[in-house]
Amino acid sequence: MIVADTNLIAYLMIEGDFTPQAELVYQFDSNWVAPYLWRSEFRNILALYLRKDYLSMAQAETIMAQTEALMKNKEFELDSTSILKMIWESTLSSYDCEYVVLAKKLGVNLITSDRKILKSFPDLAISLENYGQNS
């Protein structure tokens, strides 16, 4: 099991430069979990693709449905106190803290390309590029 941040989920579900790396992570471990926040962040990514005409509405709806199916029963509600404590103890955004808190709670790694998370939590966060080397 790994905590997948929204970018990792997007790399897997929306064809792009990082899709092959995301697919490798998925081959190593397909049990991806995330805080419920991933949904809003993922919709924001789809909004960008829609507005730039990289995706049609039908494509965006299909990708969202497929991604919700992938993450079904793998989403977690987190308590605000834990997130607020993480905000207080770090310089991360509240959004990033949700992923870190979940990874700590479950005792698993967070796979991310976010440099600030990687630097702040080197024992917890693994970069997308290095995941296969550390697994």
Domain 2-130, architecture per CATH: 3-Layer(aba) Sandwich (3.40)
Per-residue confidence (pLDDT) for residue 131, from 0 to 100:
83
Give the pLDDT confidence of 31-84 residue by residue, as tens digits.
999 999 999 999 999 999 999 999 999 999 999 999 999 999 999 999 999 999
Report residue 130's pLDDT band, with 50, 70 and 90 as the boundaries: confident
Distance CA 53, CA 27 (A): 30
Read off the DSSP letter of residue 105: H
pTM above 0.75, yes or no: yes
Is the distance from CB of 106 to CB of 33 less than 8 angstroms? Answer: yes
CB 98 within 8 A of CB 78: yes
CA nearest neighbour of 110 among 36, 18, 32, 21: 32
